[in-house]
Structures are given as C-alpha cells and as structure tokens.
Amino acid sequence: MILIKNGRLIDPASKRDEIVDIAIEDGKIKEIGKIDGETFEEIIDASGYVVSPGLIDVHVHFRDPGFTYKEDILSGAKSAARGGFTTVVCMANTKPVVDNVETLKYINEKAKEACINVLQVGSVTKSFRGKELSNFEELLEHGAVGFSDDGIAIMDTEMLYEAMKKAKELDVPISLHEEDSNFIETAGVNDSEIAKKLGLKGGAKTCAEDIMVARDCMIALETGAKVSIQHISSGVAVETVRFAKSLGAKVYAEAAPHHFTLTEEDVLKYGSLAKMNPPLRSEKDKQIIIEGLKDNTIEIIATDHAPHSNKEKNRAFAACPSGIIGLETSLALGVTSLVNKEHISLMSLLEKMTINPARLYNLNRGYISEGEVADIVIFDENEKWTVTDFDSKSSNSPFVGCELLGKVKYTISEGKIVYTDK
C-alpha cells in the first residue's frame, strides 16, 4: 500500500484542484481525502507538488521490432516513465510494419514486461504502401487500439475514404501524417530562407501539410470518422481544423512540444537535432498553434518521440533522418512554454496530456477516481532543471543543455512506483 500525502490533486476530468491524500492498494486508488498514514508500506510526502493522472502520449515510436538499436519497448517505457507517462500508443512503422497479427502479438507480449502501459496501433494500409487496407477487424481482435500510417501520408483519396468508413463502423480512431511529398524538396526543414541558409535547394512547403489536412478534414466530415491530425505545424492547418470542427467533423489535432516551443530559426542553431517531419515553421505558425491550444482547437499534446542513433543524426542535414526524442522533456516544455508564459493553465495543459488523449483512443485512463487504476504522476511545477541525460537509448534532442521548469518526482503505473527522481 502507498499513501500520497498533502499533494495538490489536479484532475482535468473532474476539474478537481485541491490538497488531498491518496491511498493506493492492489493497483487501484482506494481512497482520496484526509487519510491516516500509520498502516502504509510507503508514504510519499507530496507537499508542494502537483499530483495528476499519469500522462498519456498517443504518438511515440519505440522502434521495436526492427530498429531496436535506436529504442525498444522496454527502454522506451523507461524513458516514458521518467517523463511522467503511464500510457503510450506506439506507431506502426516498425520492421515489419504492424499490419499483421504475428508482429502485433510480439509487441503486445513484450509490452507485458514494460514498466508502463504500452499500446500499439495497426497500419492503415499494408506495408504502408497506400494500396490495400490492413485487416482492421483482425488487428483490433488481437489488441490494436487504432490505425495509422504515421510517417507516410496516404495519398490515395479513395483508399483513405474507405479506411475512414471502416474506422467509423468499428469506432476506432485513424491518426494521420499530413505531408504531400509533391511539395517537399528537402524533408525536415521549412521551405523558406532557412533552407537556403543551410545550402539546400528547398524544404517542405506549408501547403504540403495544408492540402492534406483540408482533404482529410472533409473526408472525416463526410464519413463521421474520428480522425486525429498528427503533429500539426502549420497555422493554416490549425485554421482548417477549427473550421472543420465548426461544421461538425470529429477531428482532433495534436501538437508536439517542439512545434509550440521552437521555430525554423532554431534549425540554424541545432542543425539535424532540429530536423523533423513536419518541420519547425515560422514564428507566426508557432503563435497560431499556441492560439489553437488556448481555444482547444488542438486538444492533445503528443511528443512524436522519434529516437535515432548519434551516427545517423551526425550525417549531413539532407541525409540524416528526421525526428527527435521527446518523452522526458514534454511535461517540462508544456510548463515552460505554455503555463509559465500564461498561454494556458496547468489544468488545461494536463487535460491535453491525460483525459483528452484517453478519449481519442477510447481508453479507461487519464483520470483519478476512487476504485480506478492508480496511474499517477507527481511533479514540482516550479523546479528548474537542466536537460543533461536520458533513459532513452537515444539522445537526439535539441533541448540538451536547456533549463526547463517542471520536474517529475514520481511516476506510479497501476499502483507501482516506476520512476523516482534521485
């Protein structure tokens, strides 16, 4: 039994914000209130700390199977726990792609050994080729929680239409990477003066994203499917999602911390460590993303945690892979870039990192209530710390050396302490 004493409970699902004690027994929350601590095996003094539902990230890449030198399920879970996450949803761009039951079973079996709740999506199309739908029913039967070809846009409109109809029928989300490769000369950098300064012929135009978002929002409206626009980076795309919502489309949008913290100018500073798809955009785009977070056009914050080896990232910009790791800095970047600058409240930040992603994937997680699973993060919103090392196998982050606000002190997954700040 664990007792959390005198913590500031912030639970976005119930809008509860008060100082309480929380008793945990047999993996569940036994009691919330004023509790005598004499009978507990472990007592956590949470005075001055925030106690919230364990964070949920619906967009991570754990590279397992196929690329485990970058990350694997166990190291990814450890990295997530250090960042305060108790549930993650892994994308399907493994090797082989998660378009078959055998690969899905392997992942789910290995996930049982993880320190947190690791879930997996299946691919929308077989082998990510965009030509034939995966067997949605079969993959769902064996534990998939949704579908995504993340990393590759689905260019065949008819194929995507059929996928959304199927997703609507089965009541599962489809999460979409929105970049039309016809408008990308060099991936990972905005098509602007920044690309030219890097000596590149061009980059990724914002219209590469805008075109796909507009199309997919309208298909979502037509089919009634629940669709997530992943790692939104363009201001126009934010406005499009806002419009689609006003029409009644069941469109969600997720923003990555790097897109509301950094801009294209940071690529000149960090080089390949700031290369990601879609790329960092202009200051104007960043500000529109922040406005989208403020008015809930963007309901979800997700990291797109994308580990790569140092050797891979040290290649020339055009030749190195896109993506950065993000699980261990996500909460702190939200506190530093959004809450501390008074763009949104701490309640709103946590809503976008707990109950909202849970609702997208129909998960019975993301809230704190008596009798329910004890997934909890305890953090100090005011503690300053410097990013120096990671529990991930990889270290490809532009935030190394940065001072951030908001330090995870404990992560509790299904009633077990899986991370303690030392």
Residue 176's closest CA among 207, 200, 155, 162? 155
Check if the beta carbon of residue 144 is closer than 8 Å to that of residue 98: yes
User: Tokens 């890097």 correspond to what residue?
Assistant: 198
For every residue of the chain, which 3-state class applies, written as one string? CEEEEEEEEEECCCCEEEEEEEEEECCEEEEEECCCCCCCCEEEECCCCEEEECEEEEEECCCCCCCCCCCCHHHHHHHHHHCCEEEEEECCCCCCCCCCHHHHHHHHHHHCCCCCEEEECECCEHHHCCCCECCHHHHHHCCCCCEECCCCCCCCHHHHHHHHHHHHHHCCCEEECCCCHHHECCCCCECCHHHHHCCCCCCECHHHHHHHHHHHHHHHHHHCCCEEECCCCCHHHHHHHHHHHHHCCCEEEEECHHHHHCCCHHHHHHHHHHCCCCCCCCHHHHHHHHHHHHCCCCCEECCCECCCCHHHHCCCHHHCCCCCCCCCCHHHHHHHHHHCCCCCCHHHHHHHHCHHHHHHCCCCCCCCCCCCECCEEEEEEEEEEECCCCCCCCCCCCCCCCEEEEEEEEEEECCEEEEECC
Which residue type occupies 92?
A
Question: In angstroms, rounded to a whole number, what is the distance separating the alpha carbons of residues 54 and 116?
Answer: 10
Q: Are 398 and 324 in contact (CB under 8 A)?
A: yes
Residue 280 to residues 204, 314, 397: CA-CA distances in angstroms? 10, 19, 14
Identify the sign of the CA torsion 355, 356, 357, 362. Answer: positive
Q: Tell me whether strands 300-301 and 251-255 are parallel, antiparallel or unpaired.
A: parallel
**Given 99, 304, 375, 380, which residue is catalytic?**
304
Let me know if 304 is a catalytic residue: yes
Enumerate the active-site residues. 304
